[in-house]
Structure 1
Amino acid sequence: MKLNNQRTIHKAIMLFFAALLITSCTDNFEDLNLHPSNPSENDLTNSERIGSLFPTLISTMHYAQENRNQMVEQMVGNQYGGYMVTTNSWQGTNFGTFNPAKDWVDYPFNTIMVDFNSNYLFVKEVTQSTGYIYAWANILRVATMLRVTDMYGPIPYSKISEGGLTTGYDNVQDVYHNLIADLDNSIASLASYLAEKPTQSPLAEYDVVFNGDFGKWIRFANSLKLRMAVRIAQVDTEYAKAVMQQAIDAGPIEVNTDNAFIPTQDNPYYKSSHSWGDLAVSAVLSAYMNGFEDPRREVYMTLATYGEKYRGVRMGIENIYKPWYSATAYFSKPAFASDSPLLVYCAAETAFLKAEAALRGWIPGGDEQARSFYEEGITLSMEQHGVTAGDFIQSTTPPEVYKDIATNISISVNTPVTVSWNDAGASENTKLEKIITQKWLANYPLGFESWCDHRRTGFPQFFPAQDNLSSSGFIGDVTNSSSRMVRRLPFPQSQYQGNNTNVQEAVQMLGGDDVANTDIWWAQKP
């Protein structure tokens, strides 16, 4: 991938994102149109006119397009989430070494906001903000904007269609409350639609996730509610507890047949790792899975032929030597095929969310119920990946000590955790670490979810970056430790240029400087 070309393109179209948010999406109808005869917009039926926008709306939940995936999922989410490491030096700039180029920091915000909102606002206008199509679009909006607010903090949300060139921001607590309220409205609308028309949606051909099954979209919406409620429960406890119980009672995704995936025919992780040589498995992931003797290793990563070992790469190697660290003989790559689908949500996550909630007393059940949910999550993940768990749930071996065969540098986690729930009289905090660690393993490759968990709990324990090249205006005074690393991304420069008053107000909402060391609201300790 030629990143310099990507920068040029984005500078040309992204003076500030708000200008594009109110631009009619009919300009790119030729790209989105799925009609077999490629008609003009006037020839489209109402279903085609709206339905043709949904593949783009869906794509922003987990990018399949190769450049977007690399710039958003791989460079940010999967590095800071402990799953993968980039193995290209890109002239010495990298998120892993804490010195990304400024336009790289802007890219996720600008790209997701434009890709989603330019299409969403058209759906909103045509549907007049009512009906099942609008409800479906809002579930997708929540899933996508949750990613943005968890990366940056305050974002434009409630005023997105009002501000024109100068759109106001919402603080993170308000964003979360609005997201959950929008899910509640969408769930009610879809439930009403299904009560009247229980057959498949007329837009099924545009639904690559659930093929028009709105019952599954309702389960997905409840899953998002549960995910968000657990995320904010330490700082907004009573509200979060009520939302958790509502989501659990209504029915989230609990079986693997309901899992949400986006299909691909050109999987971006496969392309980046096997075709470009830009991506490898993270050393921290291989260390945990090797130590646990995790049967999912062969599904998650390739086997390095040198030493016949699953071996990842350490994050944050200065001027990383691509020919060495991208060699399949020495280091493991993500074990995706060219047609592997992209995970959005799996049943195992629901079990681990309930395990944490029970352990912390946010839902009834206590320790025994937490253990039951914990072991259920492990079992569901093994089933999802088609492997036999064996004695994995009883395992008492810790993560291995990782050794870089190029440098002979060895590193391990500070307090090794194991799999078995009650080994050595595990404390509540140790049990929390077990839950989050196994949730991390089950959610592969949802790096943004793992990065969120690490920021709010400190788990799973990661290795610090090998080299800290913190750039001014990005990290601030962060220490390069396994528990801190990067806490958020700074706001885009395009916002300072085109929406300055509102972004300055957003900085005040942060409660700290606009740098990557400032905690987002839900990660701040009460």
Structure 2
Amino acid sequence: MKLYNITKKALLVSLLTIAGCTNNFEDINTNPNGFTQEQLEQDFNHIRSSFKPIFNNLQVLDPVWVYQLQQGLNADIWSGYMATPTPFAGNINNTTYSLVNGWNGFIWDYAYRNVMYNAYYIANNSKDKYDQFYALSLILKVEGMHRVTDIFGPIIYSDFGSLETTIAYDSQEEVYNQMFEELDFAVGELTTRYNAGEPSTFTATDLSGYEGDYKQWVKFANTLRLRLAMHIVKINPVLAKTEAEKAIAHEFGVLTTNDDIFKVVSPVYTNPIATISGSWLDIRMSADMESILGGYEDPRVATYFDTSAEFPGEYKGVRTAIDLVAKADHQDFSGIGSIVRSNEIVLMTAAEAYFLRAEGALRGWTMGGTAQSFYEQGIALSFEQHGASGAAAYISDNVKTAQDYVDPNFPVNNALAVNNVTVAWDDLATNEIKLQKIITQKWIAGFPEGQEAWTDYRRTGYPKLFPALVNYSGGTIDSQLGPRRINFAQSEISNNAGGVATGVAHLGGPDNGGTRLWWDTTGPNF
């Protein structure tokens, strides 16, 4: 994908829209298929059609192999959720910290081609005219593009659509500030319309499961604000607190029940992880998941994973960044379970909202309750979401911790447990231990959405994960810390070299996987 060409196309859309307000409107906008612009606009068809590709590419739903490159062979693995038994490219690839530019460019290209471009188109055709659609497009844009900036750091954002030969990157700080402003507009616009009793014009277009309900979209936007606020807590704690408390103080609040979950409900596609795991056998349970879920005897494991074909009745994970030789050595360990055999792709849970509030309360913010109450509600809601029983006993357990990992085929991969905290809340524990408990349970509840889990791991260091045994990064990525970001896309280096240079300048370090993002500081959590 050549971003330069796409941004030019986007600007042409904008110019045509502006031209449509001139005396040449009818000549310029004559539809060769016989529909007039008035007919197209009657049911907002000129806007609504651009939402579908956004929904389908927040996480790429099709083709499956693109999802594998967009997220499956990076965040899903680096978060500690999953591992691959397949020694791609002779085992010198993302999973062993040799970043594959030919893979990772799909993250950038698909986001700009499908999310950013269509959000830009909707903005040009709805802003100041049909602002309900503009507001909804902004929420989806923030949901899609915060993932991109949390992968690369500086990105093209405010200058998207520029006709300049060089398209400048915004710093990640600038991107976050603009996203907060976009959420301000979206929340204000939809709140006003909902309170006025205005019927939704988004029902037939909405693939989220919210059925066009403006109030539900506002609750999601508020929770998205809360998530972004927590991302920046170590680099800008004042702004983080302000934005988090703003989300909670809003009259509609944040996600609170499992009916509030934000998901893409596809009429066509099943979660691509189901194919990658069930048919291709390219992804398995991780050793970290086996260690933590097994140690806690967590009943959600039966939904998250299938038992091993090689070791019947057991859940067996694969350790990441090991010496893989043959796929057959680990392909019959546990695959991903029924949680992905669905056309509902969950991108934000109500449980996450409670864990975010728990962390906020731990930091002394006004979240509407205590850290302990939110922590325990988050666990209970996750159990409910997955139809698991025994939440009360699980929450009160102050004995069980993560278990050691054993690779029954290759003992060299064995490891002592590293994330040694119990589940039960302990008021006498340090804030650091309390945070480790919160993030560990948030990590469990968020499965299988690896992007947010990877972000939490980078910003907090939790849950503690097994270190790499094989590291082909050439010294750029630490075996204990793992990758911190992904290199800028090769399509950008080829077609927008000057823009990439502005991105590197904002990054403040070399364009490699070991350079930390703006919010990923080396400072303490408290």
Aligned amino acid, residue 21 of structure 1: T
Return the match for 2:303 from 299, 302, 307. 299
Distance in 1 (CA, whole Å) between partners of 2:270 and 2:349 is 22
SS in structure 2 at match of 1:505: helix
SS in structure 2 at match of 1:287: helix
**1:151·1:488 contact (CA, 8 Å) conserved in 2?**
yes
Distance in 2 (CA, whole Å) between partners of 1:479 and 1:160 is 34
Return the match for 2:5 from 19, 25, 38. 19
In the alignment, which residue of structure 1 is the partner of 2:294? 290
In the alignment, which residue of structure 1 is the partner of 2:321? 316
Distance in 2 (CA, whole Å) between partners of 1:183 and 1:370 is 26
Q: 1:379 to 1:338 in 2, by over 3 A?
A: closer
Aligned amino acid, residue 355 of structure 1: A
**2:418·2:466 contact (CA, 8 Å) conserved in 1?**
no
Distance in 2 (CA, whole Å) between partners of 1:261 and 1:26 is 32
Trace 1:352-501 onto structure 2 (pairs within 5 A).
Answer: 352-363=355-366, 369-388=370-389, 389-395=391-397, 396-408=399-411, 409-414=413-418, 416-422=420-426, 425-470=428-473, 476-481=475-480, 484-501=481-498
Return the match for 1:260 from 259, 262, 274. 262
Aligned amino acid, residue 302 of structure 1: D
List 4+ stretches of structure 1 deviating above 4 A: 24-27
In the alignment, which residue of structure 1 is the partner of 2:138? 138
**1:413·1:461 contact (CA, 8 Å) conserved in 2?**
no
1:64 matched to 2:67? The reply is no
Distance in 2 (CA, whole Å) between partners of 1:280 and 1:157 is 35
Q: Deviations over 1:32-82 (max 9, x none)?
A: xxxxxxx95947732222111111111232222212321112111211111
SS in structure 1 at match of 2:73: helix
SS in structure 2 at match of 1:522: coil
SS in structure 1 at match of 2:370: helix
**2:248·2:367 contact (CA, 8 Å) conserved in 1?**
no
Q: 1:322 to 1:40 in 2, by over 3 A?
A: farther
Q: 1:86 to 1:40 in 2, by over 3 A?
A: farther
What is the Cα deviation at residue 337 of structure 1?
Answer: 5.2
Distance in 2 (CA, whole Å) between partners of 1:331 and 1:339 is 18
Trace 1:132-171 onto structure 2 (pairs within 5 A).
Answer: 132-171=132-171
Distance in 2 (CA, whole Å) between partners of 1:41 and 1:284 is 59
**2:77·2:83 contact (CA, 8 Å) conserved in 1?**
yes
What is the Cα deviation at residue 168 of structure 1?
Answer: 1.3
What is the Cα deviation at residue 297 of structure 1?
Answer: 0.6
**2:229·2:240 contact (CA, 8 Å) conserved in 1?**
yes
SS in structure 2 at match of 1:229: helix
In the alignment, which residue of structure 1 is the partner of 2:121? 122
Trace 1:39-188 onto structure 2 (pairs within 5 A).
Answer: 40=33, 42=35, 45-46=40-41, 47-65=44-62, 66-92=64-90, 93-128=92-127, 130=129, 131-188=131-188
In the alignment, which residue of structure 1 is the partner of 2:18? none
Q: 1:124 to 1:287 in 2, by over 3 A?
A: same
Distance in 2 (CA, whole Å) between partners of 1:486 and 1:163 is 34
Q: Deviations over 1:165-188 (max 9, x none)?
A: 422111111111110110000111
What is the Cα deviation at residue 271 of structure 1?
Answer: 0.7
**1:25·1:118 contact (CA, 8 Å) conserved in 2?**
no
Aligned amino acid, residue 202 of structure 1: T
What is the Cα deviation at residue 118 of structure 1?
Answer: 2.4
Q: Deviations over 1:294-333 (max 9, x none)?
A: 1101011011251521111111233442223222xx4343
Q: 1:205 to 1:17 in 2, by over 3 A?
A: same
What is the Cα deviation at residue 246 of structure 1?
Answer: 0.7
**2:302·2:337 contact (CA, 8 Å) conserved in 1?**
no
Distance in 2 (CA, whole Å) between partners of 1:336 and 1:304 is 16
Distance in 1 (CA, whole Å) between partners of 2:234 and 2:340 is 39
Q: 1:358 to 1:465 in 2, by over 3 A?
A: same
Distance in 2 (CA, whole Å) between partners of 1:25 and 1:442 is 41
SS in structure 2 at match of 1:323: helix
Q: 1:525 to 1:285 in 2, by over 3 A?
A: same
In the alignment, which residue of structure 1 is the partner of 2:233? 233
**1:158·1:170 contact (CA, 8 Å) conserved in 2?**
yes
**2:167·2:498 contact (CA, 8 Å) conserved in 1?**
no
In the alignment, which residue of structure 2 is the partner of 1:345? 348
SS in structure 2 at match of 1:464: coil
Aligned amino acid, residue 148 of structure 1: V
TM-score by length of 2: 0.88
Q: CA RMSD in A?
A: 2.2
Q: 1:490 to 1:230 in 2, by over 3 A?
A: same
Aligned amino acid, residue 282 of structure 2: D
**2:382·2:445 contact (CA, 8 Å) conserved in 1?**
yes
Q: Deviations over 1:479-512 (max 9, x none)?
A: 211xx10000111122222222221121111121
Distance in 2 (CA, whole Å) between partners of 1:344 and 1:381 is 14
Return the match for 2:331 from 326, 329, 336. 326
Gaps of 5+ in 1: 1-13, 28-38
Instruction: Count residues with an aligned counterpart.
Output: 489
**1:88·1:278 contact (CA, 8 Å) conserved in 2?**
yes
Distance in 2 (CA, whole Å) between partners of 1:98 and 1:208 is 36
Q: Deviations over 1:360-418 (max 9, x none)?
A: 223368xx811111101101111111111241012221111011111023113435111
Distance in 2 (CA, whole Å) between partners of 1:354 and 1:168 is 36
Q: 1:19 to 1:320 in 2, by over 3 A?
A: farther
Q: 1:150 to 1:462 in 2, by over 3 A?
A: same
Aligned amino acid, residue 276 of structure 1: W
**1:21·1:114 contact (CA, 8 Å) conserved in 2?**
no
In the alignment, which residue of structure 2 is the partner of 1:9? none
Trace 1:198-237 onto structure 2 (pairs within 5 A).
Answer: 198-199=198-199, 201-209=200-208, 210-237=210-237
What is the Cα deviation at residue 338 of structure 1?
Answer: 3.6
Distance in 2 (CA, whole Å) between partners of 1:496 and 1:479 is 25
Gaps of 5+ in 2: 14-31
Distance in 2 (CA, whole Å) between partners of 1:343 and 1:213 is 18
Distance in 2 (CA, whole Å) between partners of 1:331 and 1:377 is 26
**1:70·1:272 contact (CA, 8 Å) conserved in 2?**
yes
Q: Which moved more, 1:285-294 or 1:113-122?
A: 113-122
Distance in 1 (CA, whole Å) between partners of 2:10 and 2:459 is 38
Q: 1:202 to 1:102 in 2, by over 3 A?
A: same
1:277 matched to 2:288? The reply is no
What is the Cα deviation at residue 110 of structure 1?
Answer: 1.6
Distance in 2 (CA, whole Å) between partners of 1:320 and 1:391 is 42
